[in-house]
Amino acid sequence: MPCHICVTCGVQHAESDRPPAACSICEDERQYVGWGGQRWTTVPDMAGRYRNQLDDQEPGLASLRTEPHFGIGQRAFLVQTPAGNLLWDCLSLIDEESVAALAERGGIDAIAISHPHFYGTCVEWSAAFGDAPVYIHRADAPWVMRPSSSVVLWDGEAAEPLPGLTLVHLGGHFDGAAVLHWPAGAGGRGALLTGDTIQVVMDRRFVSFMWSYPNLVPLKPEQVTAIASRMAGYDFDRMYGAFEGRSVLGDAAAALSRSAERYLKRMGAGPGGLEGRRGA
């Protein structure tokens, strides 16, 4: 039986004879059902019409995105470390060419996904690389549309899917939303792969924070304060966001704190914003 992929969010659902009646991820207020109604595809249907583009970002880090644009249009990342390779976030299309390209770089030892919008076909990516574990925060377990024994639900505030890589639970955009801290990135100054809960914006000196991006629903000020405070314990010079070109390529930790300050100020959180709250 095929596993259907929602055309709007790109998330693959459990196998079923007929397409599911609805996509829970798109019916959620944070997303939307495609304007033409709920539509589905499958990996075999996508083959030949789409391809995955692999781009080097820096030594040890490559991005992967589907062309032409599909679903939400996010990029995934291959992080190479001496302890193994991690696929951060995921895509909907998996094909022989992409599997071969990643295999050439040492394959995938673990997969970790920032939040439900980017689950893609993670179960198939896992299967293509020896049933690599797929790390998903337990708070987002209800959003796993294709259950699998490869899914590892992690709890608490941090996890280490491979030695030297830390998943940091931030919440916000989704209760289980997480980022990936790669201390060896940016030439040893550290890099943060942010998914959606920290969003690198068009002015790439800043990030922002939303509960829903397509429907423009902001996070509460206290959630933004919590995200910035939580990240204050990590060093990173670069932030790689979920979308093409959306990266902060220097002094990224400062970019995160000044972005939180700006957000709180615009939300009327008062002078002192973050600092005042930290001291409180």
Per CB under 5 A, which of residues 90..129 are in contact with Zn ion? 117
The site for Zn ion, by CB under 5 A, has a size of 8
Stretch that binds Zn ion, among 1-9, 60-68, 202-210, 272-280 (CB under 5 A): 1-9
Under rule CB under 5 A, residue 6 binds Zn ion: yes
Q: Which C-beta is closer to Zn ion: that of 31 or that of 259?
A: 31
CB of 241 vs Zn ion, minimal distance in Å: 11
Residue 23 or 264: the one with the smaller Cβ distance to Zn ion is 23
Residue among 23, 110, 231, 264 that touches Zn ion (CB under 5 A):
23
Q: How far apart are CB 63 and Zn ion at their closest, in Å?
A: 17
* Integer Cα distance of 225 and 120 in angstroms: 30
Q: Which residues contact 59 (CB under 8 A, 6 or more apart)?
A: none
Min dist CB 115 to Zn ion, Å, is: 5
Binder among 5, 13, 26, 186 for Zn ion (CB under 5 A): 26
68 C-beta neighbours (distance < 10 Å), count:
8
Min dist. Cβ of residue 107 to Zn ion (A): 27
Binding string to Zn ion for residues 140 to 179, with x set by CB under 5 A, is what?
----------------------------------------
Distance CA 2, CA 97 (A): 21
Instruction: Evaluate whether 200 touches 238 at the Cβ level (below 8 Å).
Output: no
Which range of residues in 146-154, 189-197, 200-208, 225-233 is near Zn ion by CB under 5 A? 189-197
User: Rounded to the nearest whole angstrom, what is the least distance from the CB of residue 194 to Zn ion in the complex?
Assistant: 11
Q: How far is the CB of 148 from Zn ion (least distance, A)?
A: 18
Phi, psi of 58 (to 5 degrees): -170, 170
Q: How far is CA 34 from CA 6, 25, 28, 171, 174, in A?
A: 10, 12, 12, 26, 21
Q: What's the closest the beta carbon of residue 6 comes to Zn ion, in angstroms?
A: 3
User: Which one of residues 5, 9, 78, 113 is an interface residue with Zn ion (CB under 5 A)?
Assistant: 9
Q: Which listed residue (124, 140, 196, 237) binds Zn ion by CB under 5 A?
A: 196
Residues that bind Zn ion (CB under 5 A): 6, 8-9, 23, 25-26, 117, 196
